[in-house]
Structure 1
Amino acid sequence: MKKKNYSGHWRSKALLGLISLLLLSSCDFFRIKTEEEDPENPVVASVGTANLYLEDIDHISKEMASDLDSAELVNRYVQSWVKKQLIIREARKNLSFNEAEINRKLLDYRYALIAYEYEKNVVEAGLDRVVRPEEIETYYQANKQNFALKEIIVRTNFIKLEKSLPQKRQLERLLNSNQEGQKEELKDFAIRYANNYFMEDSTWISFDDIIINTPLTQNSNQVQLLQNEQLIHVDDDTYSYYFKILEYRLQDQVPPLEFVKDEISKIIVNKRRVELADKLKRDIYNHALENNEFTIYE
């Protein structure tokens, strides 16, 4: 027999068939009724010869702070267990199974879970989650076209106030002012008179989110509206709505870095996670190879 080295990699296991999954998730399938029952561990539910015992669900109530919540969770668990056992019973009546093949798949799945848990624990322990601004900037510049917008976003000041208030002229003056000192006056106005407002003018937000529950939701040409108006004013029967549009980006345009920086941070961290997992697999394999810890026969 020849000994052969190879560059192996871990493969993700395909999802098991319906019966394999049911068997795995129903750990009590092979627990059979006996003549003598433990009074401290009574049967909670049974389907045929399969039993669900109190100790099997005891962890649910212990982990829950609220008795009401735990009771509901226990009931759901029991109902789910019964349904799975009924399906397994019907499957065994109507189909023939290769028990050895099912057991092999269960064993493979068990080993895959063990490997996955070990990999996850090692990777998460060593993962650097701090992303520097220059990393975000570099990734953004190299991949900005991948972030094309699927919605309109804006920087805006929004104020909703009662239609009958006489201070609307004052509000329009403040919204149209570009003087730095009047920003605070505008905020004070919103606090005093507005029924609702959004004054985070440095924050990009979805236009649909900011106009929700206003008459602007009925406007069929939002693009033209934004292109033609910096101060948008609409009324309904009770309220007046003012939107001072400071900046906007349309669908399919590239968003500003500020709008996607959190998403980019997550992408960068996830790339690190993948790289750490790949390195872990290579290191384990190379260590075993150097120490002759495995043999492949032909």
Structure 2
Amino acid sequence: MRWRNNLLFLILLASIGACDFFRFKSEKEGDDDPVIASVANQNLLRSELSFIGSENKSEEDSANLANRYVQSWIRKQLLIQEAGKSMDFDEAEINRKLLDYKYALMVYEFEKKYVEENLNSEVSQKEIEDYYQINKINFSLKEIIVRVNFVKIEKGSSQNSQLEKLLRSQNQKDSEAFKQLALNSGANYFLEDSTWIKLDDIIINTPLANHPNKVELVRNNKHVMTGDDRYKYYFKILEYKLQDQVPPIEFVRDEINKILINKRRIELVDQLQKEVYNRALEKNEFKIYE
């Protein structure tokens, strides 16, 4: 934690820009590059705002951006001044930490480039299935998920009675007819049989969003009909999984894919470090003194 706090302080120093902490400007600057703000012996020159171009910006926008930068610069300089008054800093130690931070950034960029050039982001179905089988207990659900058909339709629609009849039917043809009617007349619908979705996501903006016992709702109802002043809502619950149960692989496929790719990233960085070390070892490019 102490190292992280030191790093945060170093980032604050670095954010002042172009080494303001170490570079002291003279009180008198050239007329062609006037001082626009100062704090103690530190001056901010107009040239240091040159990055604020006028391209695609109005004069007012550019002026506001420049003003925000000046205010930010002043605050940072005041913090540095206050820090210098309140604490004793070892400049050599600060320089060493800044170099450590610089080198850490260099290594990070080097490793990032190596990973980008060598990472295979294609993950096979077998890899996902194997990982799921070994680790599925770690994917315990934190919310109810469902496979569901859902349609929202105007309360006064002539299709409501037909939808209600089709909703309750167990016939496959009637299930297809329900979907077609939803597509034709629904104000909103979800009809992906094989897709798992969070229950809260499908009942949002419906009267069921405030249901007091959603576990009992899905356990005891295969078909749910409800309504408000304007709409009727029809739900056909095909399957559900409760909190703390293991989700189906389809629900965590994308998450597993990201986990496997991240593992490859870590392995590539480890591989790079070993290659650089072994190559240097073979060439006697370093020594360890007893």
TM-score range, shorter chain: 0.7 to 0.9
Q: CA deviation at 1:75?
A: 4.9
The secondary structure found in structure 2 opposite 1:101 is helix
Alignment of 1:54-73 (within 5 A): 54-59=46-51, 61=53
Aligned match of 2:13 in 13, 23, 34?
Answer: 23
Alignment of 1:30-41 (within 5 A): 30-34=22-26, 35-37=28-30, 39=32
Are 1:297 and 2:270 matched, yes or no? no
The secondary structure found in structure 2 opposite 1:197 is strand
Which structure is higher in RCO with an 8 Å CA cutoff and minimum separation 6?
A: 1
- Structure 2 distance, partners of 1:265, 1:164, is 45
Compared CA separation, residues 268 and 188, structure 1 to 2 (3 A): same
Give the TM-score taking structure 1 as reference length: 0.85
- Structure 2 distance, partners of 1:180, 1:65, is 58
Q: CA deviation at 1:56?
A: 4.0
- Structure 2 distance, partners of 1:168, 1:58, is 65
Q: CA deviation at 1:18?
A: 5.3
Give CA-to-partner distance per residue, 1:112-154, whole Å, 9 cap, x none.
Answer: 1111111111112101100011110110111000000000011
List alignment gaps of at least 5 residues for structure 2. none
Answer yes or no: is the 8 Å Cα contact 1:31–1:51 preserved in 2: no
Answer yes or no: is the 8 Å Cα contact 2:29–2:35 preserved in 1: no
The secondary structure found in structure 2 opposite 1:220 is coil
Compared CA separation, residues 260 and 165, structure 1 to 2 (3 A): same
Q: CA deviation at 1:183?
A: 4.9
The secondary structure found in structure 2 opposite 1:154 is strand
List alignment gaps of at least 5 residues for structure 1. 1-12
The secondary structure found in structure 2 opposite 1:87 is helix
- Root mean square deviation of aligned Cα: 2.5
Are 1:111 and 2:103 matched, yes or no? yes
Compared CA separation, residues 219 and 153, structure 1 to 2 (3 A): same
- Structure 2 distance, partners of 1:198, 1:45, is 59
Give the TM-score taking structure 2 as reference length: 0.87
Answer yes or no: is the 8 Å Cα contact 2:153–2:185 preserved in 1: yes
- Structure 2 distance, partners of 1:175, 1:72, is 59
Give CA-to-partner distance per residue, 1:149-193, whole Å, 9 cap, x none.
Answer: 000011111111222323212002222344444455334322333
Q: Give 1:202's aligned amino acid.
A: S
Alignment of 1:238-249 (within 5 A): 238-249=230-241
Compared CA separation, residues 191 and 123, structure 1 to 2 (3 A): same
Q: Give 1:21's aligned amino acid.
A: I
Q: CA deviation at 1:296?
A: 2.1
Alignment of 1:1-298 (within 5 A): 14-16=4-6, 19-27=9-17, 28-34=20-26, 35-37=28-30, 39=32, 42-59=34-51, 61=53, 75-298=67-290
Q: Give 1:91's aligned amino acid.
A: A
The secondary structure found in structure 1 opposite 2:122 is coil
User: Percentage identity across aligned positions?
Assistant: 56
Q: CA deviation at 1:221?
A: 1.0
Q: Give 1:158's aligned amino acid.
A: F
Answer yes or no: is the 8 Å Cα contact 1:61–1:71 preserved in 2: no
